[in-house]
């Protein structure tokens, strides 16, 4: 069986001065995941390694460097799905985990699918995961963005105003296919800039922020979560894989996001045969991929 991995670092209007850092971060994470696969590792290990690297890279809106919510606090969401078992693990609105994808992975084999808020942080601690000081997740760039958002948002009740809709959802995600033919997809995010406390987007929801089924393929999405949830973008894209190659499935799904709900975002797709595809209707989406059939990795932002 062939091996393949694709990662994304968020779909939005990425400032020119940040393009290289986004592409470098995607490339490094993708190559780390590919090394896992090349050495006979599982797709689950590969996507965890890739996503942890992006959570640790402050350029992305995941883990360290995430957007701040209205209270000036980072609240993280993450999810993972195993295409061989259809098991799901997800966390939402956690504040004390630098790498929520690790705990999401742990939940795959637990009795539960999703944990939220302080209960999820406590669950993680009880299962041996280190809790971090929430301040460790905050970077100066995001404090400046938060101050601007606070100034520009007309009222505290303007929950879906332009500042939120036009926020910078630099969510990260990865999908991998391993030698055993298993596909795994995962996504991690700090959500949207200046989101209301407790707001949760698409990223931790299976079928919305991610989806995997060995019979179809795997998908990770990014963009305006409220729109993505309405059409269950990841599940829609995976369903398209039953009759389209991954690039066409990705394009069909992003067209549906725009046409049906006017949503902005992007997605990566890896179909059951190991073909990769991606699409976005935002100006940019950082991405990187490599399959055994390719001579060199592809890294891009357009």
Catalytically annotated residues: 171
* Residue in the structure block whose two tokens are 């406390």: 197
Classified as helix, coil or strand, 42 is coil
Select from 223, 266, 274, 277 the one that contacts ligand GLY (CB under 6 A): 223
- Shortest CB 49 distance to ligand GLY, Å: 22
For β-strands 114-116 and 87-94, DSSP reports them as parallel
Q: Is 201 in the site for ligand GLY (CB under 6 A)?
A: yes
- Taking contact as CB under 6 A, which single stretch among the options 21-29, 105-113, 197-205, 280-288 is the one that binds ligand GLY? 197-205
CB nearer to ligand GLY: pick between 189 and 214: 189
Q: What angle do CA 132, 133, 136 make, to 5 degrees?
A: 95
142 scored as a contact of ligand GLY (CB under 6 A): no
Verify binding: residue 188, ligand GLY, rule CB under 6 A: no
Stretch in the footprint of ligand GLY (CB under 6 A) among 82-90, 139-147, 219-227, 253-261? 219-227
The answer to whether 138 and 11 have CB atoms below 8 angstroms apart is no
Determine, following the binding rule CB under 6 A, whether residue 192 of this chain makes contact with ligand GLY.
yes
Task: Report the alpha-carbon distance of residue 32 to residue 38 in Å, rounded.
Answer: 10
Contact call for residue 171 and ligand GLY (CB under 6 A): yes
Of 214 and 227, nearer to ligand GLY (C-beta) is 227
Helix residue spans in 127-232 (DSSP H): 140-152, 162-165, 225-231
Q: Does 45 bind ligand GLY (CB under 6 A)?
A: no
Q: Measured from the CB of residue 282, what is the shortest distance to ligand GLY in angstroms?
A: 11
Report the alpha-carbon distance of residue 220 to residue 175 in Å, rounded. Answer: 7
Tokens of 226: 């409220």
**Cα separation, 302 vs 150, whole angstroms:** 30
Closer Cβ to ligand GLY, 41 or 265, answer by number: 265
225 binds ligand GLY (CB under 6 A): yes
* Residue span binding ligand GLY (CB under 6 A) among the ranges 110-118, 156-164, 195-203, 270-278: 195-203
CB under 8 Å to 94, separation ≥6 — which residues? 75, 76, 77, 100, 103, 116, 117, 120, 121, 124
Q: Does 63 bind ligand GLY (CB under 6 A)?
A: no
Instruction: For residues 239 and 257, give the distance between their C-alpha atoms in angstroms, rounded to a whole number.
Output: 14
Sheet holding 265-271, edge to edge: 210-213, 217-223, 265-271, 276-280
The answer to whether residue 169 forms part of the interface with ligand GLY (CB under 6 A) is yes
> From the CB of 131, what's the least distance to ligand GLY, in Å?
22
79 counts as binding ligand GLY under rule CB under 6 A: no
Q: Would you tell me which residues interact with ligand GLY (CB under 6 A)? A: 169, 171, 189, 191-192, 201-203, 222-225
């Amino acid at each position: 069986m062939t091996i393949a991995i694709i990662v994304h670092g968020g779909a939005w209007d990425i400032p020119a001065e940040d393009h290289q850092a986004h592409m470098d971060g995607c490339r490094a994470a993708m190559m780390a995941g590919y090394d896992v696969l090349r050495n006979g590792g599982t797709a689950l290990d590969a996507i965890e390694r890739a996503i942890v690297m992006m959570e640790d890279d402050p350029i992305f809106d995941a883990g360290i460097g995430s957007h701040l919510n209205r209270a000036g606090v980072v609240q993280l969401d993450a999810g993972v799905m195993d295409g061989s078992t259809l098991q799901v693990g997800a966390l939402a609105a956690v504040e004390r985990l630098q790498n929520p994808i690790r705990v999401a992975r742990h939940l795959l084999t637990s009795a539960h699918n999703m944990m939220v808020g302080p209960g999820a942080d406590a669950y993680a601690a009880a299962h041996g995961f280190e809790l971090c000081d929430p301040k460790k997740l905050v970077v100066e760039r995001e404090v400046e963005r938060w101050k601007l958002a606070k100034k520009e948002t007309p009222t505290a009740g303007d929950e879906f105003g332009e500042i939120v809709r036009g926020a910078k959802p630099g969510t990260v995600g990865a999908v991998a296919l391993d030698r055993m033919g298993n596909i795994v997809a995962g996504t991690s995010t700090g959500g949207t800039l200046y989101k209301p406390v407790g707001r949760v987007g698409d990223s931790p929801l299976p079928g919305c922020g991610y989806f995997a089924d060995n019979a179809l393929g795997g998908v990770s999405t990014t963009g305006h979560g409220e729109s993505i949830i309405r059409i269950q973008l990841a599940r829609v894209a995976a369903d398209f894989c039953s009759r389209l190659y991954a690039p066409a499935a990705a394009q069909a799904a992003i067209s549906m996001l725009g046409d049906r709900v006017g949503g902005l975002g992007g997605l990566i797709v890896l179909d059951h045969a190991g073909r990769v595809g991606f699409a976005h209707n935002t100006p940019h989406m950082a991405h990187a991929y490599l399959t055994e059939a390719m001579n060199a990795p592809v890294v891009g932002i357009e």
